[in-house]
Structure 1
Amino acid sequence: MALFYGDPDKIDYDAIKKTSETHIKAATSGLFGNALLPLDDSTSSAEAGSPAASKLRVLHKFRAEYAPSQTLPAYVQRKMDAAAAKRKPPAGVSKPGSNLATATTTIDASTRKLIEGVPIPSESSALALRHKHTPSSGSQSSSLINKNIYAQEKPQWHRPWKLMRVINGHQGWVRSVCVEPDNQWFATGSSDRTIKIWDLASGELRLSLTGHIMAIRGLAVSDRHPYLFSAGEDKMVKCWDLETNKVVRHYHGHLSGVYSLALHPTLDVLVSAGNDAVARVWDIRTRQPIHVLTGHKAAITQVRCQAADPQVVTTSVDTTVRLWDLAAGKTTTVLTHHKKPVRGLALHPEEFTFATASRDNIKQWKFPDGDFMNNFYPPLNSIVNTLSVNQDGVMFAGADNGAIGFFDWKTGHKFQETATIAGPGSLESENGIFASTFDHSGIRLITGEADKSIKIWKEDDQATPESHPGIPWKPRLGRQNY
């Protein structure tokens, strides 16, 4: 202490400088394994930027940051050696280390000059593997490559969709819609307890069917029989004969309202689900129950069937999506990625994929195991009630506040966002969209809405990429979140 606080004329500055050099050298030699340049008066600013100083800085950084990953753990090396022994080298590669040797020589001259004297890692070095190898090299170290996990693809341009026709006739919310297999007419179910059949080309009313005593939530038309199936909140599932326009079968068993209905494409099987949290599988002809699919903890909002396994897919208010084995009547996969009730479900007509919608986002999945593929971002502050997909890779999403989004199926890009308009005499809040479907050609979209109207949409034939570029596509950084 006297050394610093004594008489200024008696302070030994040489001793202070020598002590500082000793402490700095001891600290840096322990941290980097090498001493820094000498701190004396002869070290000028020019020498600090000399090649020797640059080389020393690179050496320190190299050892400090990459030394722990320079050598692979023993168990990883044993696993790699075992895999390499079973794999045959590809054509043009003489031995496993040849690619590494070739790649090592490609370091630019300036970098090699800076790190000259630093030992080059061996074949088992994790640093060399990550820096030098490619997935197609076929060497024993290809399993440790840092690959681009999510490569973003530029979306295809789609024509914007516009409103073509508004059809009025129901006295309540339009809760369900379906198109018959020949694409000549479509049917709608409403809260006014009626089923109406409309001409698809002209929009004229053909027929009205009455029989339910509460809102009709599900409709399906068979492509092998002249039958129309309906389900409602009155716990009833009915089979209508379209030749006589009368109910020919009732399917009894649900304990609460039925919210969704689906026909199997190849079997004479009907699946219905609703507020009692179970999906019931019926034999169409005998009206006998085949299975009762249990597992959901809350109401089932949507059910869909397909010919290949898993043959039944359901979504629920309990935030889960379940894939079912129809033969065994059991769950094969439970998808728990959503955080809010799942209300929308759509199967791609050609690909082996499907999408589910919730308030948080819309997720795309791949059959048969339900592998996650992509996220679609719905309109803000909206609850998506319905999804539909056509053959051209366009997905439609309709929300409870009237928001409408059109997405590119492959990339998830939303190329158009608009909103429906409530009809005359309706409140602004009565513009929710409850049901939607594309016709079998994929060029017309039919929506059922809260203003008691049915709207038909189509693509704008006059649109071009220059006149209607749509919402600009901006690639997102990083991998998609679950």
Structure 2
Amino acid sequence: MSLIAGDQTPETPHGHGHGHYASASSKDKEQSVQKHSVHTLVFRSLKRTHDMFLSDQGNLPPVNDKAEKIMKAVKAKDQYGPVMGIVERQKLEIAQGGDPLMITGAPQVSDPAAGDSQALALISNTKSLATIGGIGINDATKAPTSIVSQAKKIATMPKPKWHPPWKLHRVLSGHLGWVRCVTVEPGNEWFATGSADRVIKIWDLASGKLKLSLTGHVSTVRGLVVSARHPYLFSCGEDRTVKCWDLEQNKVIRSYHGHLSAVYGISLHPTIDVIVTVGRDSVGRVWDMRTKANIITLSGHTNTVASVLTQAAEPQVITGSHDSTIRLWDLSTGKSMATLTNHKKSIRALAMHPDLYMFASASTDNIKQWKCPKGEFIQNLTGHNAIVNALAVNQDGVLVSGADNGSLHFWDWRTGYNFQRIQTQVQPGSMDSEAGIFSMTYDLSGTRLITTEADKTIKIYREDDEATEESHPIDWKPDILKRRRF
């Protein structure tokens, strides 16, 4: 016999048809027990807190009425000084038989019908000026312009310095893969580039001619740095190795082994004979240049460490990671002095200002400026809506950022004003998707910018000598929201 759908009441063997309801009621009992236990715990906690403070109540010092009165008087004078001055003056004028609404130095109102409203408006305006300046009414009526200009000065941003625009000067080709890194030697005569074709090439800076090719890496070269005190070039790559090249013999004289994965960044300490490398194994490694020993391992990041900076002052090592944090390291102890967590996405680039005690960091959300040694946040530079791979800053205060979509943004360091945007052009035969900038650096004079790109070229930019402040004016609109905190 068929049963109608919806009216089926299946029978369970051995008379256990109400098992479901039994289990539901047991669950309800468990939940009520849990709720009761939670309420009990909360009550006990509150009682403990109450008892603890109650026991301390008798130990509090007695209230000194005289001290309280002095404190209130000081606070009133500090916060309500201008208002109290107005009240006292009005009381004095009333006592002398004058009109409290008419203020000394205020113009007389000719129309009696509109007199009250105009006088009240005048008083309210003068009061607000007096409150802004923190001075008396008579002073405010005498010099309102200085107060207004002072308030204006507080509200607006400083005007940015004029910088000449930059233009493409030269394109160099020779690599057979993405050009991933660049460095300029301390004499400012040549620069070196590393590529995905595993070759390091050395170029003449003045003429742009290829001088030398160095082979030795077995995978992409990701970082290069030249020593100012030794004839050495240091390189690192995705083959997990760090190499020291003798530029007098043009060959590898030391290899530093210890990284467990690809090495993405390298920096040379300016005063101590150590190099710092970072990579996909989430650590920074400090190497003794001569003995090849891994003397310190900077561990603390939880994801790939993509960039590293070193300087002689504290913090001597700064690292930026894909875990969205920047860490400032104490090199003597090998521990993190501070962790900056303001960024929301991966940090791929860091840049140290050559003169100021500051650095910048770049992420997809925005570029941030920081003050050493504690990593105090200064300001955001917003508007570069792409993955920023590279940063560079020169002595003139021009910060440049390059992204994986080929966009170059030039910023005034002090004010964060974005005064120029350039879109890089791929070389003929390349796809538009190859318009990516991987690294960049200024030469030592700060007048030439070298970028390495995904279309296998190196581009050199220079300032436009013919540009003037009249031909390229600053299109600047003051905006108080520029310095928002995060």
**Do they superpose with TM above 0.5?**
yes
Give a deviation string over 1:375-412, Cα, whole Å, max 9, x none.
112433x1111000000010111000001110101100
Aligned equivalents of 2:314, 2:195: Cα separation in 1? 32
2:177 is matched with 172
**2:402 counterpart (398, 403, 416):** 398
Give a deviation string over 1:251-294, Cα, whole Å, max 9, x none.
11100000000000111110000000000001101111121001
1:377 is matched with 382
2:466 is matched with 462
8 Å Cα contact 1:378-1:397 kept in structure 2: no
What residue ranges of structure 1 are gaps of 5+ in the alignment? 1-73, 86-95, 122-126, 135-145
Give a deviation string over 1:308-340, Cα, whole Å, max 9, x none.
000111100011111111111111111111111
**Counterpart residue identity of residue 460, structure 2:** I
Query: TM-score scaled by structure 1?
Result: 0.73
* Residue 425 of structure 1: how far off its partner (Å): 1.1
Give a deviation string over 1:149-198, Cα, whole Å, max 9, x none.
77511101111000000000000000000000000000000000000000
Aligned equivalents of 1:116, 1:75: Cα separation in 2? 37
Give a deviation string over 1:9-63, Cα, whole Å, max 9, x none.
xxxxxxxxxxxxxxxxxxxxxxxxxxxxxxxxxxxxxxxxxxxxxxxxxxxxxxx
Q: Are 1:432 and 2:436 counterparts?
A: yes
1:473 is matched with 476
Aligned equivalents of 2:302, 2:161: Cα separation in 1? 40
Aligned equivalents of 1:131, 1:195: Cα separation in 2? 62
The 3 A distance-change label for structure 1 pair 115 and 431 is closer
**Counterpart residue identity of residue 475, structure 1:** P
**1:156 counterpart (153, 161, 171):** 161
Q: Are 1:341 and 2:346 counterparts?
A: yes
1 or 2, which has the higher helix percentage? 2
The 3 A distance-change label for structure 1 pair 321 and 116 is closer
Aligned equivalents of 2:214, 2:357: Cα separation in 1? 35
Q: Give the length in aligned residue pairs.
A: 381
1:311 is matched with 316
**Counterpart residue identity of residue 474, structure 1:** K
* Residue 477 of structure 1: how far off its partner (Å): 2.9
* Residue 77 of structure 1: how far off its partner (Å): 7.9
8 Å Cα contact 1:220-1:263 kept in structure 2: yes
Aligned equivalents of 1:115, 1:157: Cα separation in 2? 43
The alignment's C-alpha RMSD in Å is: 3.4
**Counterpart residue identity of residue 405, structure 1:** H
Query: TM-score scaled by structure 2?
Result: 0.72
1:190 is matched with 195
The 3 A distance-change label for structure 1 pair 354 and 77 is farther
8 Å Cα contact 1:364-1:373 kept in structure 2: yes
* Residue 112 of structure 1: how far off its partner (Å): 11
8 Å Cα contact 1:361-1:377 kept in structure 2: yes
Q: Are 1:231 and 2:236 counterparts?
A: yes
**Counterpart residue identity of residue 183, structure 1:** N
8 Å Cα contact 1:168-1:454 kept in structure 2: yes
**Counterpart residue identity of residue 340, structure 1:** K
8 Å Cα contact 1:257-1:276 kept in structure 2: yes
Aligned equivalents of 1:453, 1:76: Cα separation in 2? 76
8 Å Cα contact 2:181-2:224 kept in structure 1: yes
What residue ranges of structure 2 are gaps of 5+ in the alignment? 1-66, 90-102, 108-116, 136-150
Q: Are 1:133 and 2:134 counterparts?
A: yes
**2:331 counterpart (307, 326, 330):** 326
8 Å Cα contact 1:164-1:458 kept in structure 2: yes
